[in-house]
Structure 1
Amino acid sequence: YMQGTQGQYNFLPEHHTDFIFSVVGEEFGFIGTSILLFVFCIFILRIIAIGMRARDSYGMLITAGVASMLVFHIFVNVGMASGIMPVTGIPLPFITSGGSSMWANMMAVGLVISVGLRGDRPMF
């Protein structure tokens, strides 16, 4: 594990943070990266479904913002690792070993869970 040529010989700068998708591709191949992208798609579709069932427009906007943030981060990180986008410091959500990004993603998912759990209680 983690003994591939790209990571071992330091061909990838910051392979544990910025280029983690390349490391996943090197270690698990096409099937592994496809499964990872499929899991991300299901996760984002669940967030959108929670937003569509939200009781008010505020909950819908929260879930739309979280879903678009995750889609943007995934798109930029996968594009950067594939070489079609410039190298930036945008992490792959829930995979990259970054403390503040993981913290922000967990808070965003907590907001989505709160929108999903909130019932018909009056807000006063």
Structure 2
Amino acid sequence: RIWSTEEAGAVARKGRFCVGDSADLSHIPEDSFDLVFTGYIAPLFDPLNMVPDSKTMQEKVYNSFRYCQSSDPEEQRICQLEQEKQEEWFASWVAEMVRIAKPGKIVAVEMNAESLCKSGGDF
């Protein structure tokens, strides 16, 4: 039961909640919702798949952060590519959210991860 009282339920009788994974909303038709909301969009911890799967999340984050701090041009390029992958990841979520929102309605993203180079790996 969503609503605590009969009166609250009557106010929202036309509404419906649909819980899903914002990274894959392909099963939902376009222009379906008046409000599309997601909470925190977590980052990819190894966006270029350069670290073996056997490594921990912390090791993956440290590896990426190391590129941010490097003065080596090739490592700076890797850092830039990782950031581009992160942005593509966030954009894929938001694009799906926009697709399923009715025209002119609200699409809300609570928060997405700060750039690893800015956050220092502290999510």
TM-score, normalised relative to structure 1: 0.36
Higher RCO (C-alpha under 8 Å, 6+ residues apart) = 2
Which protein is richer in helix relative to its size?
A: 1
Which structure is higher in strand share? 2
Give the TM-score, by structure 2 length. 0.36
Larger radius of gyration: 2
